[in-house]
């Protein structure tokens, strides 16, 4: 990788990320995550992105020049123009949990009714192959995803899902946030940078994960996901607004956004300031699937840095991920690399 000589990198106080991108000699490191890098991956990691800290997993930048230009542009515009868009499962949360695959916010749910849990699992077995089939045209797939989500939501209502069942499901779940997530949220909150957490799952469960696993909320975080309506007895009776599924999880769904509530079933509605969010035309996007890049669809952004978490199948997927994302964090990495990145974007 050749050094860049663009004036963007010759400012009196170049940011830490850019110094690291272009000034470090090759180094080897030992990953500390549960699944090690493949034996021959080390030589594929750009030396400029290797870390001297044993706590920091590896990362890959395919086009360092392009990333440097984006960092400089976003830094020059300032935090008032920046927003963060993040996927939840496998992005904010860890892929591995105590050496095993962690649960997703949707997969952790137990209704307390084995019959309906089994029915939802049967729907997954039927529709998931459709979701991942690349040969099905998108309009047809979108119709089928809408159908799947509708049937699943119907079973949750019919099966008598309660707020207590959600609390117990989260308490018993194998789910945890990545190390460094709180530090990231605190940094962004202190600078009034909004964070939109997009999920095709259930907002009420994600909010309960925030409450139980972080024990706090952040005023700048909004959850964009499917919202439940409970009656006075705490039983699910309906879903609010339009359905958000895997193919429409983007900024067109902003009217479903709402803050993390203090209590489950908070009646507070959707936010009324999403038009102001859309005026923030610099984006830091965080995801763990290439499809997550679509979360910024509907936003007329000027600059977007896409950071991807490649949690498994490193050898098979690294090429595609490094071409799709500006920077790829490997092996279920902690969030500290992203904290460094936002510190460079907003010094």
> Which residue has 């089928």 as its token pair?
144
Burial bucket for residue 72 (CB in 10 Å: 0-12, 13-18, 19+): buried
Contact 27, 47 (CB under 8 A): yes
How would you classify residue 332: left for phi > 0, otherwise alpha for psi between -120 and 50, otherwise beta?
left
**Count of all residues that appear for the chain in the document:** 347
Supply the residues annotated as catalytic: 87, 89
Task: Name the nearest CA neighbour of 222 among 190, 198, 186.
Answer: 198
- Going by the DSSP 8-state scheme, the letter that residue 162 receives in this structure is B
Q: Which helix (H) or strand (E) holds 69?
A: helix 64-77
By the 8 A CB rule, do 205 and 103 touch?
A: no
Strand duo 327-330 + 59-60: pairing: antiparallel
Query: Which residue, chain included where needed, has tokens 């009420």?
Result: 204
**Alpha carbon 131 to chain centroid distance?**
19
Categorise residue 338: left if φ over 0, alpha if ψ from -120 to 50, beta otherwise: alpha
**Token match 């910024």: residue?**
296
What lies within 8 Å, CB to CB, of 273 at 6+ separation is none
Distances (CA, A) of 106 to 109, 146, 177: 6, 16, 15
Residue 60, H or E segment: strand 59-60
């Amino acid at each position: 990788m050749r050094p860049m000589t663009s004036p963007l990198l010759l400012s009196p106080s170049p940011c830490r990320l850019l110094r690291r991108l272009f000034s470090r000699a090759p180094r080897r490191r030992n990953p500390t995550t549960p699944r090690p890098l493949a034996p021959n991956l080390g030589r594929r990691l750009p030396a400029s992105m290797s870390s001297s800290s044993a706590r920091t997993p590896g990362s890959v930048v395919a086009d360092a020049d392009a990333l440097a230009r984006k960092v400089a542009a976003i830094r020059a515009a300032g935090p008032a123009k920046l927003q963060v868009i993040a996927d939840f499962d496998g992005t904010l949360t860890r892929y591995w949990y105590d050496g095993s695959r962690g649960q997703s916010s949707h997969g952790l749910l137990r209704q307390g009714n084995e019959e309906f849990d089994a029915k939802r699992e049967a729907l997954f077995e039927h529709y998931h192959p459709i979701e991942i089939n690349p040969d099905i045209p998108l309009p047809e797939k979108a119709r089928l995803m809408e159908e799947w989500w509708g049937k699943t939501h119907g079973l949750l209502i019919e099966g008598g899902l309660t707020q207590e069942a959600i609390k117990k499901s989260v308490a018993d779940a194998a789910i945890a946030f990545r190390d460094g997530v709180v530090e990231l949220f605190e940094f962004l909150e202190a600078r009034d940078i909004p964070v939109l957490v997009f999920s095709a799952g259930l907002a009420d469960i994600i909010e309960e994960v925030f409450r139980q696993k972080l024990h706090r909320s952040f005023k700048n975080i909004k959850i964009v996901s499917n919202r439940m309506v409970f009656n006075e007895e705490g039983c699910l009776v309906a879903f609010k607004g339009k359905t958000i599924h895997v193919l429409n999880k983007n900024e067109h769904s902003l009217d479903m956004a709402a803050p993390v509530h203090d209590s489950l079933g908070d009646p507070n509605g959707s936010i009324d300031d999403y038009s102001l969010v859309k005026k923030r035309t610099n984006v830091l996007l965080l995801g763990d699937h290439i499809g997550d890049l679509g979360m910024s669809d509907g936003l007329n952004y000027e600059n977007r840095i896409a950071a991807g978490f490649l949690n498994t199948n490193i050898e098979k997927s690294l090429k595609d991920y490094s071409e799709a994302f500006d920077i790829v964090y490997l092996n279920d990495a902690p969030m500290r690399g992203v904290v460094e990145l936002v510190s460079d974007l907003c010094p």
